[in-house]
Chains A and B, each alone.
Chain A
Amino acid sequence: MKKVLYRNQFSKVFVFSLVVTLLFSVSLVAQDTVTESGDAVATEDAGASDGDAAAGKALFNQNCAACHALNRKMTGPALANVESRLAEEEGLDREWLYSWIKNSPGMIRSGDAYANKIYNEFNQAAMTAFPTLSNADIDNILAYTAAPPPAPAAPAAGEAATVASGAASGGISNEVILGALALVFALLVVMLFLVNNTLRRIAEANGISVEKERAEKRLPIWKAFAQNQFLVLVTVIFLLLGSAYFAYGWMMQIGVDQGYAPIQPIHYSHKIHAGDNKIECKYCHSSARVSKHSGIPAMNVCMNCHKSIYEYKGNPEGPSQEDLANGYTNEFYTKEIKKLYKAVGWDEENQKYTGETQPIEWVRIHNLPDFAYFNHSQHVSVAGVECQTCHGPVQEMEVMYQYSPLTMGWCINCHRETNVKVEGNEYYEKIHAELSKKYGVENLTAAQMGGLECGKCHY
């Protein structure tokens, strides 16, 4: 018993020390950020005297970030130190920038040499005019661009490592508790054995041998069982019934792939897209609205966003420990985005499509047999069923899996329980009025509307 107490104490100490370590590391991080921002402010002051870099950052993200990055060529050129660069290389002043930003198409038309040069360099994609930006706004933005962008800080990586090790130690603590429990059990077993031995010894000392007497009197239990025909029969029947039950259960799951979560050629995280970023399902699966197929989005749909989202920066709080344990680091996700670029033939350097495409072979997860007809638009557009009703909490799925069994019984159940959405649909007006009167109900279920007829799904 003492020992056990000691173990508890040990784990308590361990947890305590862990908490301390974590606290310490957090304070380290805080210090880092402070110094960084301090640096930024300092450089700002040195670069452009007349502009608020913080306001500039907000404006930049709002207006420019879709096409420009600070030190990376995107749809438009990289903008870090754009003012000084222009002044040095082209001899253009801030006035030029004002007019360019406010009315770039006009400048191109007016035949400005550099305007046309940059226009042609970037595939003749004219920059949107921003007449609403005031000169002060532009000053702010320029101030932001003039500040050297924070380099991907080395301490951050170190800190991540600490966190990782912290998580690892947390894992160990769990194991330690389990190990302790196992040890307790082992001790109990040993103790029981010892007690038993002691008792036996006492019995021997008293000269009694109970076991032998018993053995002579009684048949072994299995023999008795075998001789009792009734029991054998009942047991056999139960065994047969039991195996039939399990065999039936096993057979009924053939072809039911609930939980099927194959490894996909690109690790596409629905959690990040639909969950963290709250992208509407039908933004990508747009054909679900009008077609029987929900459709796997074409890669040009991905590129709508991923033209500018070229790397994964993770949640504001940073990747969770679980993600890190699975290897879902920022670098990992960024690598997956590169896979997309390769498939769609996107040349990041030149911001151009190369035309060399490699269509992605996704592994199909939801797979109805050919003899069952299912139409997404009927359910999504007409009935207004949430995608999650059948597909489960997709917004939480790091790896997509089949949530529902997709069996006929499952379909039918839902048709029996779900009311038809008739509000505001002229098609249903008459038939609903007549049918609900006939059945004497307020709301018709899909089944009452004819949703259980064989021919509705099998043709």
Chain B
Amino acid sequence: MASNKKYWKSEAELNPNDSIVEALKQNEFVEQIPVDDFLGDKQNLSSTSTNRRDFLKYVGFSTAAASLAACEGPVIKSIPYVVQPENIVPGVANYYATTIANGFDFASVLIKTREGRPIKVENNTMAKVGGGANARVQASVLSLYDSTRLQGPMANGEPVEWDALNAAVKAKMGSLNVSSKKAVLLTQTYASPSTDRLISEFKAANENIEHVTYDAISEDAALTAYENSYGERALADYDFEKAELIVSLGADFLADWQGGGYSSGYAKGRIPKNGKMSRHVQLEANMSLTGANADKRFPLTPSAQKVVLAKLYGKLNGTSVGGNTSEYDAIVEQLTGEIKKAGAGAVVVTGLDDVNAQTVALAINKMLGSRAFDADSPRYVRQGNIKMLETLISDMKAGRIGALIMDGVNPMYSLPNSIDFKEGLEKTDLSVLFTANWNETAEVVQYTAASNHYLESWGDLEMKKGHYSLMQPTIKELFDTRQFQSALLNWMGSESSYYEYIKETWDQGILNGASWNQALQDGVFASETMAVAVDEGAVVDAIEGVEVETPNVRIASAVRSLANATSNGMELTLYSKVGMGDGQQASNPWLQEFPDPITRVSWDNYVTISKSDAEALGVENENVANGGMDGSYVNLTVNGVTVENVPVVVQPGQAKGSVGLSFGYGKSVGMKEEMRTGVNAFRLYEGFNANQNVSIEKAGGNHEFACVQLHKTLMGRGDIIKETSLEVFNTKDHAEWNHVPQVSLNHQEVPATSVDLWESFDRSIGHHFNLSIDLNACTGCGACVIACHAENNVPVVGKKEVRVSRDMHWLRIDRYYSSEDSFEADNTKKDEFDGLSGDNGSLGGFGELENPAENPQVAFQPVMCQHCNHAPCETVCPVAATSHGRQGQNQMAYNRCVGTRYCANNCPYKVRRFNWFLYNNNEEFDFHMNNDLGKMVLNPDVNVRSRGVIEKCSMCIQKTQKTILDAKREGRLVADGEFQTACSAACENGAMVFGDINDDSSKVSELKESNRMYHLLEHVGTKPNVFYHVKVRNTNEA
């Protein structure tokens, strides 16, 4: 009987012709076991001299040797200085003020050095302009120790001496007099008085020299608009602190718009003071960081933004503006009303790459007399000139260029028409590229001059008129590199160093008798003599090549052309990510692993698309079983140029009919395999315009993303991010908008804060540290994430690991979308659930709440270890590896941890991170901790964790301990503001404030008393030492 039974293993067996069934009949596994891989071919095996006995001998010997070696401690050598530098004490950090100016990021910073090694970037609080280091600047110290850096000059791919390179250039310069060819310096924006002077002297010393400035991501439209109106090629400055109403049309001013650096002013105006805060309206296509912070956001395609801008100008000016659509009239009407009400308190900015749009925006601000608008002392951080660049390329192709010397640019990567450039380069007699890394352009030039990192260089800057800063080396050149300016001096036959040259420039024109040493120590210098504003009408006529027209006529024509803007098909908006910028630091593992604040995707760029467009195209995102997110691929075509296989992220808030794609990715030359991520968006940067018409088609396959946050909404849990409107905040009691959760005690509702499972320790003596996070001031920029990375030796784990949620960031910034139009509506919806099913049933209702709205409200929330006074993690640790300190820190003894991960399971905030692998000295994780150079960035005061232990935010105990020790040694009390964590020090917005709440005069104790204060998950009763401030949105619509 039994033998007659047939057991079917699968449905497939029903099909007698199934190949898999056949294969399985013969073999246990469908695929061959890869025996060959480890046994190799016969020949190989027989030729080896190691037989089985030898193998056993080796095993025996190595085991014995290993165990013997383990018995004896290693001999450790200590090598002191031969001559100890006067200002270096081993173990004590030195700080130097310097400035980053890499053509994209400009900021005054402090560099922390230990034993002569720069290890951390801090904000220079003395700087009035550009004193905030963003995520990229914070990470720039790691790029200094990039193991893929060029170690010396090269000629046609072969190492060469500097003398040979210099001789070649000098010879060429000499011969330019004979041939009628030009020599061109193609450089990044320097904004440097000394470099400007140097280049003009170089021009004077040699004949036929031309200087072309090129920004990879161009602000040419804004520069031209300002030049047309004010006669100088610069950018108007804005102080958003002074603005009552900010209207932004596609300007991502909290990120990199016109050079960035606006967020601290913006954040100051966003904290409600005396019942007032600024109002921010954003009209944009992509969901940008700025849009996410707006009080009111309109998703509009770039062409629609143009129309709105034109009509807005018309309304404000009282003239009627034509145009074909009226669907935006309501928006225009509302904006006009608000702007008129705010008057000089309003400011209008635009990020549209269109001279007309920029001109109109300038005109509106001037018309309003906006207080936040400063055209008198403009900013110089972008100077690229497209016209000159295009002339250069055509000259190159025509063979009119004798020598091309490039610094700080990578045109073969960042030019949309890099093929033309390459063709031109072939006809150029001499080409030299100054670059720190081997890159796409280095492959095609004759000479690659290895240049310095900014931390190895001298330099100076004028970021804003009258605001100067100095760049000084914080370490000697690691390799045989030179900075461009030194080379120029050499070619000019000058004996002096660039340092002397800068000093001369400053002594002559800038310092006006002030102390050079003081300026160098401060890193910044503000000149007292401010230039007088230039009369605008007069200069316009003077500009060459511009049709002479009165300003009014020019604006009128600009408005006309804007109003007629139309689009056909999808519109693409190219943008730069907070974490990657223009891609200069693409081989920086911290930045690659940094999750984008909006999409929370790391290690990639992607097309952002609205949900309805995605459905129409048939593309989607999908969360798969291993916890990762997948996305479909599309092909993007702009003007016949196609970028293939771009993964898609469905982005709530993306304007319908628009898509977004970020610059900075898709680099492949001179980079480690892991770093070659994403696609190169510069291919689509036709005419240096970030707004393009694009056609999209779905491509096959799925992309595996490394996304650190798969849940998108708050599900109506208003107690996680408490939010209220300015009106409610001003008029109602805080119990209403900052409700303390109630729990039942003895069948009575009592505030959760009054119930305790544990007896409280007395923390009133000594320090008690608290961290305050103001959700109003936090823009989600992520500088703190990188600062934490750098300070605490947090490992980089790579794309694969991040994909399976094994990222190690101690500090994450959660981003939440609302499911309804606002978070408040979410809360109401959840409260109104009635029963399980039905229209108001919670079953279907929660399902709906999982999906973000088309144009959702967005909120950011930095979450790190909350250092609970009643910590759930501490009670479950079987080995007491995590315990509580009197000063409030939840401490973690790594050497005691055995890796049970009970604590991580029991943590309600999910902030504990487990070292699944050894992330240092491990070939599998070939990032900075796997090479000697990259390890130089490690903070010697913080342990590098090993495999199998839990780690988490320590509230920078090494920093608080150091502050306390300094005070003890000097026999004084600790002043307020001395206590800092890496994140609070990095936050230029002032959103994070750290300090001692037992010190009544401290800022943090004042913040703790604020009625906006709340704790995360207060009802759990963990009593955290980190607290948040209720987010207030200015929804007052005039």
Contact = CB atoms under 8 A, between A and B. Distances in A.
Interface of A: 254-255, 257, 262, 287, 290-293, 295-301, 343-345, 357, 359-364, 367, 369-373, 375, 377-378, 381-382, 424-428, 430-431, 434-435, 438, 450, 453-456, 458-459
Contacts of A359: 79-82
Contact of A371 (B764, B895, B958): B895
B78 interface: yes
B892 A455 contact: yes
B954 interface: yes
A299 B83 contact: yes
Given A435-B766, A459-B954, A450 B886 contact: yes
Contacts, number: 148
A367 B82 contact: no
Contact of B80 (A296, A363, A425): A296
Interface string B578-590: 0000000000000
A426 B972 contact: yes
A453 B885 contact: yes
A438 B80 CA distance: 46
Contacts of B971: 424-427
Given A299-B80, A371-B943, A454-B896, 17 more contacts: A291-B89, A295-B80, A295-B90, A296-B78, A345-B82, A360-B80, A362-B77, A370-B943, A375-B965, A382-B968, A454-B891, A455-B889, A455-B954, A458-B891, A458-B892, A458-B893, A458-B895
A237 to B, nearest CB: 29
Contact of B84 (A298, A424, A458): A298
23 contacts: A287-B92, A293-B90, A295-B80, A296-B80, A298-B82, A300-B83, A362-B78, A363-B75, A363-B76, A367-B73, A371-B893, A382-B965, A427-B971, A435-B766, A438-B765, A453-B885, A454-B883, A454-B896, A458-B895, A458-B896, A458-B943, A459-B954, A459-B957
A365 to B, nearest CB: 9
Interface band, chain B: 35 or more
A291 B91 contact: yes
A287 B82 contact: no
B41 interface: no
Nearest to A286: B89
A114 to B, nearest CB: 33
Contacts of B77: 361-364
B892 A290 contact: no
A430 B885 CA distance: 19
A343 B764 CA distance: 56
B763 to A, nearest CB: 11
Nearest to B762: A438
A293 B887 CA distance: 25
Given A378-B968, A459-B954, A450 B89 contact: no
A361 B972 CA distance: 39
B699 interface: no
B966 to A, nearest CB: 9
| Closest A-B pairs by Cβ, 9 of them | A455-B891, A291-B91, A298-B84, A298-B81, A293-B91, A296-B80, A371-B895, A364-B76, A458-B893
B76 A291 contact: no
Nearest to B93: A291
B89 A382 contact: no
Contacts of A431: 765-766
A359 B81 CA distance: 7
A275 to B, nearest CB: 22
Contacts of B941: 292, 373
B103 to A, nearest CB: 38
A438 B889 CA distance: 21
Contact of B81 (A299, A424, A438): A299
Contacts of B81: 298-300, 359
Interface string B51-92: 000000000000000000001010111111111100001111
A347 B886 CA distance: 57
A326 to B, nearest CB: 23
B922 interface: no
Interface string B932-964: 000000000111100000000010011001001
B765 A291 contact: no
A455 B883 CA distance: 8
Interface string B766-782: 10000000000000000
B617 interface: no
B967 interface: yes
A381 B89 contact: no
B33 interface: no
A300 B893 contact: no
B904 to A, nearest CB: 18
B76 to A, nearest CB: 4
Contacts of A427: 964, 967-968, 971-974
Q: Kindly name the residue among A293, A299, A458 whose own CB sees the greatest number of chain B CB atoms within 10 A.
A: A458
Interface string B973-998: 11000000000000000000000000
